[in-house]
């Protein structure tokens, strides 16, 4: 049986019982809560937006140049954004490898650290150590962040050592020397 309205051939609007409307509203609220819970959280420091709203650290190429020491080393290590590294020593011998997933994530987090910009701008001071390693850490961040270079001597007795740059140097040289 088809009900019609007095105005013609259109079906009559039936009243929906109140408990069904409340049930529909509850289902809609639950669906909205689920989709909100799956939304991405706040951006990490140094992160940049990417297509689809997902946020990741800005990929960076890192170069660590280590000179000095008692034996007179001259090592240059370059790590690309994917974690592949190449190292050249003072004899121009080359070796290569890849950071572990954990090392790569840690390196990219350190490369995005805002302390690097402050460390690059600080004045250099004379060192208190003889035969210490001198480091130049260069981080080439893609996008608007550009390139930052921090130079320092790894001397525990010196004041104001650059923590972020030193952490990068230790991570990269440790991964290559292993």
CATH number at residue 142: 3.30.1560
Whether 11 is in a domain gets the answer no
Residue among 149, 173, 139, 172 at smallest CA distance from 59: 139
- Residue 96 — φ and ψ, nearest 5°? -145, 165
Instruction: Quote the DSSP letter at residue 53.
Output: G
pLDDT at position 3 over 60: no
Most confident stretch, 6-20, 43-57, 65-79 = 65-79
Residue among 163, 151, 150, 153 at smallest CA distance from 110: 163
How high is the mean pLDDT of the chain? 75
How much of the chain is in helix, strand and coil states, percent to nearest 5? 35, 30, 40
Whether 39 is in a domain gets the answer no
State the pLDDT at residue 102. 96
Is residue 56 within 8 A of residue 47, CB to CB? The reply is: yes
Model pTM score: 0.66
pLDDT digits (tens, 9 = 90+) for 52-95: 333 345 789 999 999 988 778 899 999 999 999 999 998 899 99
Whether 106 is in a domain gets the answer yes
Is residue 136 within 8 A of residue 65, CB to CB? The reply is: yes
- Residue recorded with tokens 């990269």: 172
Number of folded domains in the chain?
1
Residues paired with 92 in a beta bridge:
none
Most confident stretch, 44-48, 53-57, 127-131 = 127-131
Helix residue ranges, H only, the chain: 18-37, 101-111, 115-121, 163-177
pLDDT at position 112 over 50: yes
Query: Domain containing 81: what range?
Result: 55-177
Whether 9 is in a domain gets the answer no
Whether 37 is in a domain gets the answer no
């Amino acid at each position: 049986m088809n009900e019609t309205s007095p105005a013609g051939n259109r079906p009559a609007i039936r009243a929906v019982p109140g408990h069904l409307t409340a049930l529909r509203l509850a289902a809609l609220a639950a669906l909205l809560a689920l989709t909100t819970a799956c939304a991405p959280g706040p951006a990490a420091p140094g992160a940049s937006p990417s297509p689809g709203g997902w946020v990741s650290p800005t990929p960076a190429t890192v170069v660590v140049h280590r000179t000095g020491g008692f034996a007179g080393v001259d090592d240059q290590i370059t790590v690309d954004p994917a974690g592949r590294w190449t190292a050249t020593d003072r004899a121009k011998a080359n070796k290569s490898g890849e950071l572990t997933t954990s090392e790569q994530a840690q390196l990219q987090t350190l490369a995005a650290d805002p302390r690097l910009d402050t460390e690059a701008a600080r004045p250099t001071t004379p060192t208190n150590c003889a035969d210490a390693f001198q480091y130049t850490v260069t981080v080439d961040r893609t996008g608007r962040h550009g390139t930052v270079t921090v130079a320092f001597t790894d001397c525990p007795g010196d004041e104001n050592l650059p923590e972020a740059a030193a952490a990068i140097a230790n991570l990269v040289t440790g991964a290559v020397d292993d």
